[in-house]
Structure 1
Amino acid sequence: MNAVLQIASGLLLVAGATFSLLAAIGVLRFPDFYTRMHAASKAGTAGAGLALIAIACHSGDAGVATRAVAGIVFLFMTAPISAHLLARAAFLAGYRPLPGTRIDPRAAEGLAESAKAHGREG
C-alpha cells in the first residue's frame, strides 16, 4: 500500500508541476492582462491544489494532511475572488481588453455606472 501512495503522490506532483508550468507559459505568452490573469488564477490554482494533494498523500500524517486540505480549501475560495476583483479594478481603471474581445453589454454597463460613481469615466 505504501508503494501505491508513493506512486500516486508522485503522479499528482507531476500533474501539479505541469499545471504550474502551463500557468507560467500562459502568463508569458497570452496577449493581454485579462487572459494572463486567467492563466495564472486557473492553472496556477489547479497546480498548487494538486501539489497539496500530493503532499497530503505522501505525508501519511493526519496533521499534515489536514493542513494540506485546509490550504486547498483556502486556495480555491480566495483565488477566484481575487482574480475577479483584480479584473474589475483593471477594467475600472481604464485598462480595456484587446479589440475583438466579446464583452457582455449589461456587465459593461454596470461597470461604467460603477466607474462614474467613483469619479472615473467608464
Structure 2
Amino acid sequence: MDILDLLSAVLLIIGAAFFLAGTVGLLRFPDVYTRLHALTKADNLGLGFTVLGLVLQAPGVAAGFKLILVWLLALAASATLSFLIARRAFAKGITPWDPEEHEP
C-alpha cells in the first residue's frame, strides 16, 4: 500500500465520519431548522472528503473532474433544497426551537 492509497483511505474514513455526524444530528436535534443545518453542513463535508478520496484513485483527470463536478452540483442542490424546506417550514408557522421554553 503506497501513500496515495493510505491518504485516500483516510479521506474516505473522514467523509464517513461526517456522514455519521449528520445522521446523528438528524436524529437528535429538536426542530426542522437545526436538523437541516446538521444535514447540509455535515453531509456536504462528508461528500467533499469522500470525493477527494475518490479523486486520488481516479484513473484520469477527466474522471477526477467529473467527481468534483458531481460534488459541486450536490452542494448547489443541497443549499437550494435546504433553503426551500426552511422557507416552507417558516411559512407554515413552524417556529425555531427555543431552549427557554423547554427547561426542565
The match for 1:61 is: 60
Shift of 1:32: 0.9
Amino acid at match of 2:8: S
If asked which structure has higher relative contact order (CA below 8 Å, sep 6+), I would say 2
CA RMSD of aligned residues (A): 1.7
Output the CA distance in 1 between the equivalents of 2:47 and 2:98. 32
**1:22-101 paired onto structure 2 within 5 Å:** 22-100=21-99
Amino acid at match of 2:57: H
Q: Is the 8 A contact 1:49 1:75 kept in 2?
A: no
Shift of 1:16: 0.2
Amino acid at match of 1:57: L
1:72-111 CA deviation, whole Å, 9 max, x = no partner? 211222222221121011100111112358xxxxxxxxxx
- TM-score, normalising length: structure 2: 0.86
Structure number, greater radius of gyration:
1
Shift of 1:53: 1.3
The secondary structure found in structure 1 opposite 2:56 is helix
Shift of 1:49: 1.5
Amino acid at match of 2:51: L
Amino acid at match of 2:87: R
Shift of 1:13: 0.2
Worse-matched range after superposition: 75-84 or 62-71: 75-84
1:9-46 CA deviation, whole Å, 9 max, x = no partner? 11110110000000000001111111111111110111
- TM-score, normalising length: structure 1: 0.74
**Equivalences, count:** 100
The match for 2:11 is: 12
Shift of 1:61: 1.9
